[in-house]
Amino acid sequence: MTAPTTPPKTAPAAPLVVSADDLVALVSRIFAAAGLAEEAATTVADGLVEADLEGQPSHGVMLVDMYVDRLRAGSLSTAATATVVSDRGPCVVLDAGNAFGHLTGPQSIDIAVARARKQGVGIVAVRHGFHFGTARRYALRAVDQGCIGITMCNTRPLMPAPGGAERLVGNNPVAIAVPTDDAVPLVLDMATSEAAMGKIRLAEKASQPIPATWAVQADGSPTTDARQAIAGMLLPAAGPKGFGLALMIDLFCGLLSGGASGDRVRPLYGDPGIPYDCSHLFMAIDVGHFCELSWFRAQAAAAANRIRDGKRAPGVAELFTPGEPEWRARQNANRTIRLDGAVARSLIKVAEDLHISAAPLRAIADDPSTEKHYAKT
């Protein structure tokens, strides 16, 4: 009797070096062909490519095919703005109508900042929202206007309670950014899971294993298999602390907006005809209502420098402030992106399905020398 053989693993596609500007242009054309207005299409494309430049590919152009599927199925609106549900001074509720979060997010944080200017704080809760990419970009938008920015969002349940074997809360992200004189933005941007689901999907697309601390199988047992993790549950960061924070974010977003929370938020990668229906919360605090903005910025910069100048453990070359790795990644990228080969091919397919030329990207993807060179790095 012949012993069973283990099928060979599929080798991951080699990464490709792509111009960020070419990628924005291609993704913009894709979304315009799928029904978005030209300006809106460019805004969404900019947000996705920005995430890739910052070393956050789970929030980058890997999402394009899913976004387009939802546009085609009708669960994702082509509207560019949210509508006002209620307006009570510093507190505003918006209905995004299942429009792109990349479009309603800037609108929401700008309203929050405008209210903070008048009354010290502005809070905007958003119902019927859609994925908005990285939370940091909206928090930093408030910082650009002299405010502390806080952004959060809920997702469908993905994580169990500590010791549980049932999805109860999402890996709900939160971002907090403060004004600083430092050249490096000072911003915390974190999911409440040990790793984002997007990172696991990237590993699944590339046929790569994941760390054992990221997720568990559906029965709660450990796994390093990305497919098992997607079918199973994410693990909360810091155990009960991450779970508790995720629960509070879910309640803040869903209940204050009058929108979805818990399992009323649908799977992002589920039936493309069913709205995702998440909820957002945006907060702005006008520093000038509390102290001199210049003094605050100087103190924040000093705190950042104390961290970088802090004593390092053996073998550690540098210490970083929150948000610094993403800033450095963008600075070092020189407007180029190392795009996963599988994601590149997905973009080419979506473009060609919409009768959009993907010639620049296809030329890179079809060049064997390019793939061999970057497969070694």
Least-confidence region, from 70-79, 200-209, 307-316, 346-355: 200-209
Q: Is residue 4 part of a domain?
A: no
DSSP H or E run through 178 = strand 174-178
DSSP H or E run through 246 = helix 240-257
Q: Is residue 377 part of a domain?
A: no
pLDDT digits (tens, 9 = 90+) for 60-107: 999 999 999 999 999 999 999 999 999 999 999 999 999 999 999 999
Same-domain check for residues 178 and 297: yes
Radius of gyration of the chain (CA): 21
Same-domain check for residues 259 and 112: yes
Same-domain check for residues 184 and 208: no
Same-domain check for residues 161 and 260: yes
The larger pLDDT score, comparing residue 12 to residue 112, is at: 112
Quickly state the pLDDT bin for 259 (edges 50, 70, 90): very high
Bridge partners (DSSP) listed for residue 92: 87, 124
Q: Is residue 92 part of a domain?
A: yes
Same-domain check for residues 162 and 286: yes
Is the pLDDT score of 324 beyond 50? yes
Quickly state the pLDDT bin for 59 (edges 50, 70, 90): very high
Same-domain check for residues 125 and 198: no
> How far apart are alpha carbons 59 and 208 in whole angstroms?
18
Task: Give the chain's domain count.
Answer: 3
CATH at residue 85: 3.30.1370.60
Q: Is residue 63 part of a domain?
A: yes
* pTM of the predicted model as reported, rounded to 2 decimal places: 0.90
CATH at residue 203: 3.30.60.50
Q: Is residue 85 part of a domain?
A: yes
Same-domain check for residues 202 and 142: no
Quickly state the pLDDT bin for 10 (edges 50, 70, 90): very low
Q: Is residue 305 part of a domain?
A: yes
Is the pLDDT score of 15 beyond 80? no
36-71 burial, b for 16+ CB within 10 Å, e for fewer? beeebbbbbbbbbbbbbbbbbbbbbbbbbbbbbbbb
Evaluate whether 71 touches 34 at the Cβ level (below 8 Å).
yes
Q: Is residue 296 part of a domain?
A: yes
Least-confidence region, from 99-103, 198-202, 237-241, 264-268: 198-202
Same-domain check for residues 178 and 32: no
Same-domain check for residues 217 and 149: no
| Three-state DSSP class for residue 169 | strand
Domain hosting 350: range is: 15-73+335-361
Same-domain check for residues 138 and 253: yes
Same-domain check for residues 209 and 89: no
Is the pLDDT score of 185 beyond 60? yes
Evaluate whether 186 touches 300 at the Cβ level (below 8 Å).
yes
Q: Among 209, 207, 230, 210, which Cα is nearest to 218's?
A: 230
Is the pLDDT score of 251 beyond 60? yes
Q: Is residue 187 part of a domain?
A: yes
Same-domain check for residues 83 and 183: yes
> How far apart are alpha carbons 39 and 191 in whole angstroms?
29
CATH at residue 351: 1.10.1530.10
